Amino acid sequence: MSGTVDVASVYSAIEKSAGLLDVKTSRDKVWPILTAFEDALPQAVIAFRVATNARHEGEFDARFTLPKEVDPYAVALSKGLIAETDHPVGALLSDIQQLCPIDSYGVDFGVIAGFKKVWAYFPGGEHETLARLTGLPSMPRSLAENVDFFTRYGLAEKVDVIGIDYQSRTMNVYFAAPKECFEKETVLAMHRDIGLPNPSEQMFNFCQKSFGLYTTLNWDSPKIERISYGVKTQDPMSFFARLGTKVEHFVKSVPYGVDDPKMVYAAVTSTGEEYYKLQSYYRWRSVSRLNTAYIAARDKESA
């Protein structure tokens, strides 16, 4: 990436990148989001992401970081990017802010769907605990109902990031997981414990190289929807035989972040669909809180 980072340049980059997947960017959805957070763009980490599963087909996501002084949900409401709601999802970020120190934020949006998600990143090395988070009135009860599971795998005191998806009304809990969580036997046991199908050998091999994991929960079910694993790599294609023609074209052709690390996330759905999310950076910063707070720790551990 080079040149000035402003609304016009970022929009142009999103439009061109989405075009590699034959996805047409909705200016009415994307431009208002960029202008709402315009002052933060010159300092932000900015990333583009595509997913390989059927649910995400025809969509292209972008995300960027925000300083802790900017409340992303409050801005989104004030600018009409998202509708106010009585659902607990609308109160969760405020409850977290009152309980926890925040290092920074992130936002995620689709070029078709518009504003989707907010991330709250806790200060590096200052993990939050489920004992504290489950006490929040707006937190899904599914988090408390699965404390035994998280404790069994050494995760209950290792929460680094909370993600809130306002469109799907789900939340993600990101963990600085112990390395045992990425071993084949443990990956298999964790999936079986929560009733998810067994991963493929390809995914087992992927998990062994992971730097962290996150779980997805909602307010309507006591179950953990999925476990997702993340890998940082210079060559996403090295993990796969095929990803589908359009996704492969995007990975090989996106002009941004050519020399920067990429992120790949893997998960299995309850129906057995195994899919991946691939993320490339329009602007990368080696010290950032976008996606996970523990990349550096995992790098150091494997050095």
Q: What is the pLDDT of residue 290?
A: 54
Q: What is the pLDDT of residue 249?
A: 81
Higher pLDDT, 299 or 20: 20
Q: Please state the rounded mean pLDDT for residues 42-67.
A: 88
Condensed to tens digits (0 to 9), the pLDDT of residues 136-157 reads 999 999 999 999 999 999 999 9
Give the confidence band of 302 by pLDDT, cuts at 50, 70, 90: very low
Identify whether 1 is part of a domain: no
Higher pLDDT, 50 or 116: 116
Q: Please state the rounded mean pLDDT for residues 192-197.
A: 94
Question: Phi and psi (nearest 5°) for 66?
Answer: -135, 150
Q: How many CB atoms lie within 10 A of CB 91?
A: 16
Identify whether 169 is part of a domain: yes
pTM: 0.92
Domain that includes residue 267, residue range: 7-302
**pLDDT for residue 303 is more than 50:** no
Identify whether 42 is part of a domain: yes
Identify whether 2 is part of a domain: no
Condensed to tens digits (0 to 9), the pLDDT of residues 72-105 reads 999 999 999 999 999 999 999 999 999 999 999 9
Residue 220 — left, alpha, or beta (φ > 0 → left; ψ -120 to 50 → alpha)?
Answer: alpha
**pLDDT for residue 269 is more than 90:** no
- 268: tokens are 């299995």
- 135: tokens are 């006490």
Q: Please state the rounded mean pLDDT for residues 237-248.
A: 70
Condensed to tens digits (0 to 9), the pLDDT of residues 106-122 reads 999 999 999 999 999 99
What 3-state class would DSSP assign to 69? Answer: coil
Q: How many CB atoms lie within 10 A of CB 259?
A: 6
Q: Please state the rounded mean pLDDT for residues 51-66.
A: 85
CA dist 51 and 62 (Å) reads 12
Q: What is the pLDDT of residue 240?
A: 66
Give the confidence band of 284 by pLDDT, cuts at 50, 70, 90: confident
Number of domains in the chain: 1
Q: What is the pLDDT of residue 291?
A: 47
**Percent of the residues in the chain that have a pLDDT greater than 70, as a whole number:** 90
- 61: tokens are 């996501």
Higher pLDDT, 289 or 30: 30
Strands (E), the chain: 46-51, 61-67, 104-110, 114-121, 159-165, 170-175, 212-218, 226-233, 262-268, 274-283
